Amino acid sequence: MSLNDISDLIRQLKGRGAKSVALQFPEGLKRKAAGIASDLRTAGFEVIISGDPCYGACDLALDTLNYANVLVHFGHAPITEHPDIIYEPYRIDFEINILEKALPLLRGRILGLVTTIQHTHSIPAMRSFLQEKGFDVRISNGGSRTPQTGQVLGCNFEAATKTGAPEILFVGTGLFHPIGIALSTRSRVIALDPLTGIASEVSGDTLLRRRFAVMEKARTASSVGIIVSTKSGQQRLDLARRLVSLSPLATIVMMHEVIPDELLNLGFDAYVNTACPRLAYDDQIRFPVPVLSPPEFEIICGIRSWDDYTIDEIL
Amino acid sequence: MSLNDISDLIRQLKGRGAKSVALQFPEGLKRKAAGIASDLRTAGFEVIISGDPCYGACDLALDTLNYANVLVHFGHAPITEHPDIIYEPYRIDFEINILEKALPLLRGRILGLVTTIQHTHSIPAMRSFLQEKGFDVRISNGGSRTPQTGQVLGCNFEAATKTGAPEILFVGTGLFHPIGIALSTRSRVIALDPLTGIASEVSGDTLLRRRFAVMEKARTASSVGIIVSTKSGQQRLDLARRLVSLSPLATIVMMHEVIPDELLNLGFDAYVNTACPRLAYDDQIRFPVPVLSPPEFEIICGIRSWDDYTIDEIL
């Protein structure tokens, strides 16, 4: 965060009449906490840093608001608005010409464009670049969890789906988002890492094969824990209650962090994850037993067909 | 938990008119969760299991009360009473004659007796046994955190201190409690594990030497995080604010679980732990940097003398 940004934040905080401020950072930005806290203390605020893990705006440190007038949440766009929360997204710039690297992989002229919150400010420049190359660029608003145009989350691909485009360009790091987009949209998906310039076509096939194996293993479970998150933007108790009603073997397990050791200690033969959808897909290797998504559990309970497999999203 | 206990619990729950019940277990009893949940479901209750880590009645799953009428907390005596919480301590019996094993280590006739919640129901039998052997047995009530007579916690040794005895017999597993008793009371302390029959004299010297080394290392820290817990019975914000006022290098860090990786990510050079006191003493080896107790921080800030070293207790 530059000095300029800090001045602006201090102005906002003073404008709200705040005396005490809580700061929350995702893991990758936590190192900035001590410095920003020091700057704010010098400016006269009492400061509390939230030290809990944080992976998204779905995981607000609301408890700090019992002790501070305002919570500043860094690195993410709002999933839920709150009068006492200031969101400070963290922008990462890149050289727009890097999009060149994705062009050889694109087949059609109609192209959906999506990215993550670090790069949504570059959407207009990316659109211009692609239009100049002759593409009919489709950029959509997502749902309420993704307030920025063209923004996707690991749990929400609506901004991709709503383009209706047969081919989607995802600009961002990692393969989880583009795999999710592929499974959610069934469109062709090209992923471009704007920092390394590595572009690739992404398919959901490998994930699907792995998930079908996990589901097969979960079939023989004689007890199933239905995980419900207590995090502000991940709590799907209604869904969990519906899933519990599908099986006499199922019990609701409420957790803040979904910790492998706790799943082991509780001793259920399998779990269904209604918290952050990525947990089941990304972290299965860390879990001692199968952890299914809600649609996967519906399939093994026989109320959804295998052909109707879908990736879990929070809408 | 025997069937009999379950019937009694069901009676209590029905007596309260509860429709939905949340269950919370410490790590060692978590495996009982699925079975008890199933029994309660059969009796007509909606059941939610708390899946978060739990190490004491200082760590109540209060959030489950947003979704359930009653929380049943297993394995601990109350630290704070709550109208919607039922405490179900977990009793572990042992052969009273095992106390014989401690006798050769005792020197005087005046003897303080303390134990942990699993064994407080055996206090009368232990008293009789020791009286028959000719001891003047002193058993005290502790403070508000330890409602059972003769009960100590890892964070509270008042029931030992208040005996005023020059020699104290601790009956229980592990060495943390008796070391804490030795440092808190400065009495001679004999520990007896009532399950193995192993008895030993316990001193705080090794812990003290280790702690002095950690304090020395913390002296050069250029930033200090003052950890405040958000757990129901571990929150000492007033203490933390007083500690922050001792040093311009200090910032409050609020955490639910004190996770080594998070301390690393935040990047402070040292921390002061106002959460569960055991964390600093027991878990230093897991932490990436020095984690001091509040009295230790006072010593390195120069407002407490080294001779006045004391173990951290929550009173």
Using one digit for the tens of pLDDT, what is the confidence trace for A171-223?
999 999 999 999 999 999 999 999 999 999 999 999 999 999 999 999 999 99
A227-271: pLDDT as tens digits: 999 999 999 999 999 999 999 999 999 999 999 999 999 999 999
> Best interface-test mutation with B: which of A254, A264, A272 has the largest number of B CBs within 10 A?
A254
Give yes or no for a contact between A22 and A74, defined as CB atoms under 8 angstroms apart.
no
- Please give the pLDDT value at position B89: 86
Give yes or no for a contact between B67 and B220, defined as CB atoms under 8 angstroms apart.
no
Look up residue B33 and give its amino acid.
A
Which residues of chain B lie closer than 8 angstroms to A253, CB-CB?
Answer: 48-51
Q: Is pLDDT of B1 > 90? A: no
Q: Is pLDDT of B231 > 60? A: yes
Which residues of chain A lie closer than 8 angstroms to B63, CB-CB?
Answer: 230, 254, 256
Give yes or no for a contact between B294 and B239, defined as CB atoms under 8 angstroms apart.
yes
Give yes or no for a contact between B182 and B189, defined as CB atoms under 8 angstroms apart.
yes
pTM, full prediction: 0.91
Which residues of chain B lie closer than 8 angstroms to A47, CB-CB?
Answer: 251-252
A87-123: pLDDT as tens digits: 998 999 999 999 999 999 999 999 999 999 999 999 9
**B2: number of Cβ within 10 Å:** 7
> Best interface-test mutation with A: which of B24, B245, B254, B287 has the largest number of A CBs within 10 A?
B254
pLDDT band at A148 (very low <50, low <70, confident <90, very high): very high
Buried b (16+ CB within 10 A) or exposed e, A168-201: bbbbbbebbbbbbbbbbbebbbbbbbbeeeebee
Q: How many C-alpha atoms does A275 have within 13 Å on its Cβ side?
A: 26
Q: How far apart are CA B116 and CA B176, in angstroms?
A: 12
The 3-state DSSP class for residue B10 equals helix
- Please give the pLDDT value at position A4: 57
B267-300: pLDDT as tens digits: 999 999 999 999 999 889 999 999 999 999 999 9
- For the residues B143-160, what does the mean pLDDT come to? 96
In this structure, the strands spanning A20-24 and A46-50 are parallel
> Best interface-test mutation with B: which of A72, A266, A279 has the largest number of B CBs within 10 A?
A266
Which residues of chain A lie closer than 8 angstroms to B259, CB-CB?
Answer: 53
pLDDT band at A5 (very low <50, low <70, confident <90, very high): confident
Q: Among residues of chain B, what percentage have pLDDT more than 90? A: 96
Q: What count of residues does chain B have? A: 315
Q: What angle do CA B230, B234, B239 make, to 5 degrees?
A: 95
Mean pLDDT of chain A: 95
Place of tokens 């050769």: B104
Per DSSP, helices labelled H in chain B are 3-15, 33-42, 123-132, 158-161, 176-185, 205-218, 237-244, 260-266, 278-283, 294-300
B213 CB contacts (<8 Å, ≥6 apart)?
A: none
Dihedral angle over CA of A64, A65, A66, A69, nearest 10: 120
A4 or A108, greater pLDDT = A108
- For the residues A3-26, what does the mean pLDDT come to? 92
Which residues of chain A lie closer than 8 angstroms to B255, CB-CB?
Answer: 50-52
Quickly list DSSP for A42-56. Answer: HTT-EEEEE-S---S
- Please give the pLDDT value at position A303: 96
- Please give the pLDDT value at position B5: 81
Q: Is pLDDT of B123 > 90? A: yes
Q: Is pLDDT of B83 > 90? A: yes
pLDDT band at A62 (very low <50, low <70, confident <90, very high): very high
Q: Is pLDDT of B4 > 70? A: no
Give yes or no for a contact between A171 and A192, defined as CB atoms under 8 angstroms apart.
yes
Contact A251 B41 (CB under 8 A): yes
Q: Is pLDDT of A276 > 60? A: yes
Minimal-distance CA residue of chain A relative to B25 = A266
Q: What count of residues does chain A have? A: 315
- For the residues B144-153, what does the mean pLDDT come to? 96
Q: How far apart are CA B292 and CA A31, in angstroms?
A: 21
Question: How far off is chain A from B264, nearest CA to CA, in Å?
Answer: 9
Q: What is the DSSP letter of B147?
A: -
Quickly list DSSP for A117-130. Answer: TTTGGGHHHHHHHH
Q: How far apart are CA A186 and CA A204, in angstroms?
A: 9
Which two three-digit tokens encode residue A99?
Answer: 């999009």
- Please give the pLDDT value at position A122: 98
The 3-state DSSP class for residue B278 equals helix
Q: How far apart are CA B313 and CA B291, in angstroms?
A: 16
